[in-house]
Amino acid sequence: MSGFSTARQKMVDGQVRPSDVTDIRIIDAMLAVPREAFVPQNQRALAYLDLDLDVSEGGAAKRFLIKPVVTAKMLQTAEIKDTDNVLVVGCASGYSAAVIAKLAGKVTATESDPSLVAKARDAFAELGLGNVTVRAASAAEGDSANAPYDVIVLNGATEIVPEGLYRQLKEGGRLLGVFAMTQPQRATIVTHSHDDFGSRALFDAAVPVLPGLERPAAFVF
């Protein structure tokens, strides 16, 4: 077993499984997707640590792969089926979208940093992931062209209610993300039912806020 393969197994056994992630499809997907392929060369030794990993490549805003365990726990709640149409918002270099591509029928990913869009496309092609596409777009914009979605996953936190993304959910669809309107931040599921949206907090989780989903700056006297 290579060094990265060993680190990947340790990530799953030491971070994911102990956090009550029992869905074998998620575990298999995280074992199959090489996280180091989505990390700058000089940071690959950090790929499997329990941290939000900065993968920025000179963009105006810092971009991160959020902690593996936060991704895994949200995906378990999402209950993604192999026929689902999924949107990944703020995918950065594409790791979470690649994991979700192992679970879903079709995945659309958005990212505001064009250099990371290119990196994600290259990584998807190298891994032979034919059911995932990525396009440059702000987090709040989503991708209406491929809507409605069964599941929307935020690869980061939001400080505002992302109403534009809500409107891209299918009836019965669910949105998973970390909501940072109040403290502590909490991973939350939003469900679309009968033209209404209900939310339920899942667990505390502090992750970086996605560019475009920040709280508007308040005027200070």
DSSP bridge pairs for 158: 179
Residue 214 lies in a domain: no
Asked whether residue 71 carries a pLDDT value surpassing 90, the answer given is yes
| More confident position, 182 or 176 | 176
Asked whether residue 218 carries a pLDDT value surpassing 90, the answer given is no
Residue 179 lies in a domain: yes
Average pLDDT, the chain: 95
Q: How many domains does the chain fold into?
A: 1
Asked whether residue 187 carries a pLDDT value surpassing 60, the answer given is yes
Residue 221 lies in a domain: no
Residue 220 lies in a domain: no
Structure tokens at 35: 């996280």
Asked whether residue 64 carries a pLDDT value surpassing 90, the answer given is yes
- pLDDT score, position 196: 92
Burial class (CB in 10 A: 0-12, 13-18, 19+), 83: exposed
- pLDDT score, position 105: 98
Write the CATH number for 67.
3.40.50.150
Residue 98 lies in a domain: yes
Asked whether residue 61 carries a pLDDT value surpassing 90, the answer given is no
The average pLDDT across 145-165 equals 97
Residue 79 binned pLDDT confidence (cut-offs 50, 70, 90): very high
Residue 211 lies in a domain: no
Residue 215 lies in a domain: no
* Helix 24-32 vs helix 68-78: crossing angle, to nearest 10: 140
The average pLDDT across 51-60 equals 83
Residue 185 binned pLDDT confidence (cut-offs 50, 70, 90): very high
Neighbours of 72 (CB within 10 A): 24
80-126 pLDDT tens trace: 999 999 999 999 999 999 999 999 999 999 999 999 999 999 999 99
Residue 79 lies in a domain: yes
Residue 2 binned pLDDT confidence (cut-offs 50, 70, 90): confident
Question: What span, in angstroms and rounded, lies between the C-alpha atoms of 80 and 75?
Answer: 7
Residue range(s) defining the domain that contains residue 11 = 3-204
